[in-house]
Amino acid sequence: MGSVRAAHEAFVTGHSGTTPQDVVLAVSSAFPGTLLVAAIVQGRLGWQWFLLECVLLVTPVALGFTVMADFTPHMLLCSSLLASLLLWVARSRVSAWNGCDKAGEPAIESTGKRVGCVTCYRALLNLATTIAILAVDFHCFPRRFAKTEVQGYSVMDVGAAGYVIANALVEGRRQASLRVVLKDAALLVCLGLVRLAMVWAADYQHHVTEYGVHGNFFFTLAALKLTCSWWAWRLGTAGNLALMLALCLVHHLLLTVGGVEGWTLGPVPRDSFLNANREWFVSMPSYAALYFTGAGIGAYLRDRSKRATVPHFLWAVVVASAVSLALLHFYVDPASRRLGNAAFVAFSILYATLTLAIFSLLDIWIPKLLPGVSSTPRILQAINQRPLLNFPPVQSRHWGHQQERQHPHCLATRGTSLWCWGIPSVLLQWCISCSRMIVKGR
């Protein structure tokens, strides 16, 4: 089994990623998919409509991550043309039924305390992460989408950063006390310990250069919860963004002037706790910067007096982060997940805010084109409301490890197994978790 594990480690490590455009295109089919859901489903309830939403939203994203990864621009073009046609047909029927146009007000859709673009972003992030974790052990998942070793851009790298931003976006709604923060952090630490124990017990491959020997993403979230979440919401938009810039500057100086970059990437033996987990310690400031970014954006989105200017604000952040990324990439250093450098922070912010900005436009366009139709598909509402049921990292990794034990020499055939068992199992979890919401018509 040692040779099998070594082969598996070689399969998921040592990659250099892809281009930023390729990462964005991988999930781009979700945007016209949202328009297709609005044009076809139009808010109707029932299992048949829910399953149709799965076909229109989940399937294109899964295809874009696997067998159709080389054709994502074509998928985006075709689905956009189809969505435009069906929206025109649906709009014509609505106008005929009503006798006149009853366009909605150009405001960001908000149901209760939830903002539509935030719900869609968080749900799409959960969906993409679930598919990526299920697929990464298989040949149908392009190696350019797997986590990068030193520098580069990849789907899985931006997924971890996206979770930090997604959590920070909604943290201010709770305004939690220190007691609640400690409780949440303790839960995350327990999950991190369980994951660490299960990886060792199953003799599963462990990507040491990701978070070090003992670290994992649960420990990162716990540290952010303890150090940032209980007070970040008090800073407001300007304060959080200013703190993000200060953290990036200090972190860059530590990496370059302080020699931390050479220590992290160099052949330093992992003979102490600090050396063994240096990637975890070095990347923490960048994740804190991303957390403050999410908290700042969330503070702006929650301000009801600024709802009409949300798209303008988000697109301004998109432009600023894109310009920053270009300057950092060409004149400083490309993005490095392992270091968590400024380019990595800029690209993560660009990816998150671009997704939010596009969904914010859909929040405006869909109610205007189809009055009375929600811009947030029910499948995305369900994923956002029950993320833990929809995100099976431990189960999927264990399942992949069992496949590896049973068929160590048949990696090429595992894409079929993924589509036969992995993706349907995730859809089944979503269907079960959404049953109550559909029955109540929420």
Q: What is the DSSP string of 115-137?
A: EHHHHHHHHHHHHHHHHHHHHTT
Q: Averaging pLDDT over each range in 229-238, 248-257, 425-434, which range is the top one? A: 248-257
Instruction: Give the model's pLDDT for residue 209.
Output: 81
CA 312, 315, 319, 320 dihedral sign is positive
Instruction: Give the model's pLDDT for residue 355.
Output: 96
Q: What is the pLDDT of residues 252-306, one digit of tens each?
A: 999 999 999 999 998 888 888 999 899 999 999 999 999 999 999 999 998 888 8
The overall average pLDDT reported for the chain is 82
| CB-CB contact of 247 with 292 (8 Å) | yes
For range 229-244, the mean pLDDT: 88
Residue with tokens 């979230």: 221
Helix (H, G, I), strand (E, B), or coil: what is residue 303?
Answer: coil
pLDDT for residue 368 is more than 80: yes
Mean pLDDT is lowest, of 142-156, 338-352, 382-396, 420-434, for: 420-434
Please give the residue that has the higher pLDDT: either 23 or 180.
Answer: 23
pLDDT for residue 26 is more than 50: yes
Domain parsing of the chain, residue ranges = 2-440
pLDDT for residue 109 is more than 70: no
Mean pLDDT is lowest, of 109-123, 154-168, 208-222, 425-439, for: 425-439
pLDDT for residue 342 is more than 90: yes
Q: What is the pLDDT of residues 372-428, one digit of tens each?
A: 888 888 888 888 887 665 554 444 444 444 444 444 444 444 444 444 444 555 555
Instruction: Give the model's pLDDT for residue 32.
Output: 95
Residue with tokens 């409301």: 385
CA distance 167 to 232: 12
Instruction: Give the model's pLDDT for residue 412.
Output: 42
Q: What is the DSSP string of 391-435?
A: --HHHHHHHHHHHHHH-TT-GGGHHHHIIIIIHHHHHHHHHHHHH
pLDDT for residue 204 is more than 80: no
CA distance 394 to 111: 33
Q: How confident is the model at residue 234 (pLDDT cuts 50, 70, 90)?
A: confident
Instruction: Give the model's pLDDT for residue 222.
Output: 92
What predicted TM-score, i.e. pTM, was given to this entire model? 0.86
CA distances from 428 to 58, 299, 325, 339, 359 (A): 12, 35, 39, 38, 26
Q: Averaging pLDDT over each range in 3-12, 327-336, 371-380, which range is the top one? A: 327-336
pLDDT for residue 364 is more than 60: yes
pLDDT for residue 74 is more than 90: yes
CA distance 121 to 124: 5
